[in-house]
Structure 1
Amino acid sequence: MSGAAEQEATGGAEGGQLQGSPLEGRSARAGSGEMFDAIAARYDLMNRLVSMGLDQGWRKEAVRALELASRPKHGTVLDLATGTADLALAIAEAHDVRVLGIDPSEKMLAIGREKVKYAHLSGRVSLRLGDAQALDLDDQSVDGVTMAFGIRNVPDRAKALREMARVTKDGGRVAILELSEPREGVLSKLAQFHIHTVVPWLGSVLSGAPEYGYLQRSIAAFPPPEEFAEVMRASGLDIVSVEPMTFGVVCLFVGTPSRAARSSQATGGGRAGHG
């Protein structure tokens, strides 16, 4: 998991901005780089415990969804909310590509840089401070974009999604992993207990930080998968797939820039479909 937003939300469309979410009316520290600085030291340990060790497998699914084998060799992948670089490293270990990881938490990045160095991947993985809502990158400059467990922390999700669409080359993929609260099914009550009770308790016991209470609230406030997929579409990403995993506790959203399809429509070409 990794941090994302740097400022507090101030209204906006449902699902696209954090109106009515745990961030509204709270300190800008909630969901911010500063908040993730406070929990950086034990962040990886908490990830493993909170996810019961499943988070690494979820990241592998995100890497697979990029379909980098079909892209030109030696390309570049952007990993937003990179945190301690778990997903950035998974991408670089699986494919011969360069990975740029961006995150607003310097302490998370410092841990990530040590992990990159330990993995002997400093030549292909670079990490830097940045904001997913305002990327200092050229249009169509990366072959794929990933974001694991960070989009729910972004004040203006639609703006971040538009940035992802802007910097991704035609045919490239955007893969977003996000936690969600199952609302139906026999295991939904168990999942809700884990999110509302176990997650904040583990966080307070192991890290001594109240920030994990925010984690629980942010998961509960994240829109249902079908609603977030609509935000992606409205932000310039055609949906390739929406894949619930682990009984719906996590969802993998995969999209591709829709500008090529829209250009075809504007010139009388074929119609673009949605997955």
Structure 2
Amino acid sequence: MGQEALTTVRPGSGEFFDAIAKRYDLLNRIISLGIDQGWRIKTVRALGLAPGMRVLDLATGTADLAIMTARRSAGVDVVGIDPSREMLAIGRTKVSKGGLDTRVTLLEGDAQQIAQPDDCFDAITIAFGIRNVPDRARALREMVRVGKPGARVAILELGEPRSGILGPLARFHVHVVVPTIGALLSGAKEYRYLQTSIAAFPEPETFAQQMRDAGMADVKVHPLTFGVCHLYTGRVPEGAR
């Protein structure tokens, strides 16, 4: 899919990410200066996983978080869901090369309408994907639906720091560095969407309240790297439905 095709699809959709799938991992490493892997480690740790548990990774993309979850959690199975076929194809190659075919399953799907039964996952994650979901409230309610009572939810998302001594530098990175590097490496001017979606994401406490409104309990906000990224954690309560 070329640059012309990108203009006909919704920014942030599965088709949008199909077009940049081959360079997505490289872009993540460069744009985040390699820090994104450390953020994912913190996300996995927040889940408190034990052998026999099942984890759902929404917006799994090329399966970085799904693979890390399986590697760092013995006896845990992961189901990754994403709307981009090209991202999933790359993810399946990575899963196979890592010898994780029996523990990591990747499926095409939508976070707003998860094709999984009620109460079937012990933990749910989504990294750098919730801002691309048109109806976030619906996606958050779906997480509550498919999570078992007590299931932990961990949402990793970028944001634009609005205060602090490093705020101006971080905003420069988001507004100038991210779209410039993205456009150069991906060959798509539409990669500027990443910058606009980060800037448009709600304030941390506003999004945390959206998680509570969807039915999650014990919601907490964990700023990472001077607020460039936040880890949001919560829990599916007993009698959530």
Query: Shift of the alpha carbon at 1:109?
Result: 0.2
Q: CA deviation at 1:239?
A: 3.1
Q: Which residue of 2 aligns with 1:77?
A: 55
Check if 1:165 corresponds to 2:133. Answer: no
Paired AA for residue 74 in structure 1: G
Distance 2:139 2:23 in 1: 27
Structure 1 or 2, whichever has the larger Rg, is 1
Q: TM-score, normalised by structure 2?
A: 0.94
How far off its partner does 1:108 sit?
Answer: 0.2
SS at match of 1:121: coil
SS at match of 2:231: strand
| Counterpart check, 1:190 vs 2:169 | yes
Match of 1:238 among 210, 214, 217: 217
Secondary structure, aligned partner of 1:214:
helix
Pair 1:146 & 2:125 matched: yes
Quote the residue 1:16 is aligned against: none
Name the structure 2 match of 1:22. none
> Which residue number in structure 1 is paired with residue 87 of structure 2?
108
Root-mean-square deviation (CA, aligned residues, Å) is 1.3
- CA distance in structure 2 between the aligned counterparts of 1:207 and 1:30, rounded to whole angstroms: 15
Structure 1: 5+ residue stretches without partners: 1-25, 264-275
Q: How many residues align?
A: 234
Partners in 1 of 2:68 and 2:120 — Cα distance?
Answer: 21
Q: 1:37 maps to what in 2?
A: 18
Q: Which of 87, 93, 100 pairs up with 2:65?
A: 87
The 1:230–1:160 alpha-carbon spacing in structure 2 relative to 1, beyond 3 Å, is same
TM-score (norm 1): 0.83
Q: What is the Cα deviation at residue 240 of structure 1?
A: 3.7
8 A Cα contact 1:237 1:258, kept in partner = yes
Match 1:224 to one of 184, 203, 206 = 203
Q: How far apart are 1:232 and its partner, in Å?
A: 0.3
**Which of 9, 28, 37 is 1:56 aligned to?**
37
**Alpha carbons 1:39, 1:211 under 8 Å: kept:** no
Contact 1:137 1:167 in 2 (8 A): yes
SS in 1 for 2:94: helix
Find the counterpart in structure 2 of residue 99 from structure 1: 78
Q: Indicate the residue corresponding to 2:4 in structure 1.
A: none
Q: Residue 75 of structure 1: CA displacement?
A: 1.7
Task: Write out per-residue CA displacement over residues 181-227 of structure 1, whole angstroms, 9 at most, x where no aligned residue.
Answer: 00000100000000000001101111111232000000000000000
Paired amino acid for 1:111: I
Deviation of the 1:29 alpha carbon:
2.0
CA contact (8 A) 1:143 1:169 kept: yes
Question: Would you say 1:176 and 2:155 are equivalent positions?
Answer: yes
CA offset at residue 28 of structure 1? 4.5
Residue 84 of structure 1 aligns to a residue whose secondary structure is: coil
Q: Distance in 1 between matches of 2:226 and 2:124?
A: 25
- Name the aligned partner's letter for residue 211 of structure 2: M
In the TM superposition, what is the alpha-carbon distance from 1:27 to its structure 2 partner? 5.8
CA offset at residue 140 of structure 1? Answer: 0.7
What is the percent sequence identity of the aligned residues?
60
Q: Partner residue of 2:100? A: 121
- Unpaired runs of at least 5, structure 2: 1-6
